[in-house]
Amino acid sequence: MERNGLVEIGQEVEIREGRLPYSYYYVVEPAVAMSGNFLFRERLTAKTGIVKDILKKETGTYLLVEFEDEKEIPASL
């Protein structure tokens, strides 16, 4: 990850929704992390969440963000 230190565990973050032809994706603002694609039935209604964990793996660094009305979703940094 090239942008370490922009978020920390316990921090509230805002997300922006993007739309593709058949799915949605989410960006932790300001362009800190981006989720994978989600089907329409998986679409989030929350616009803020709490960072629960920062996971460092061989494939990259991931944020685990929990939303009040949804389950946790991973977002890649």
Query: For the purposes of burial, counting CB atoms within 10 Å of the CB of 15, is it exposed (0-12), middle (13-18) or buried (19 or more)?
Result: buried
The pLDDT of residue 1 is 39
The pLDDT of residue 37 is 94
Are the beta carbons of 50 and 66 closer than 8 angstroms?
yes
Domain count across the chain: 1
Please indicate, yes or no, if residue 5 is contained in any of the structural domains.
no
Residue span of the structural domain in which 48 resides:
12-76
pLDDT in tens, 32-71: 888 999 998 888 889 999 999 998 888 888 889 998 875 5
Per-residue confidence band for 6, with pLDDT thresholds at 50, 70 and 90: confident
Please indicate, yes or no, if residue 48 is contained in any of the structural domains.
yes
The pLDDT of residue 76 is 61
Please indicate, yes or no, if residue 50 is contained in any of the structural domains.
yes
Please indicate, yes or no, if residue 7 is contained in any of the structural domains.
no
Please indicate, yes or no, if residue 3 is contained in any of the structural domains.
no
Please indicate, yes or no, if residue 61 is contained in any of the structural domains.
yes
Regarding pTM above 0.85, the answer is no
Per-residue confidence band for 77, with pLDDT thresholds at 50, 70 and 90: low
What value, to the nearest 5°, has the Cα angle with vertex 37 and ends 19 and 68?
A: 90
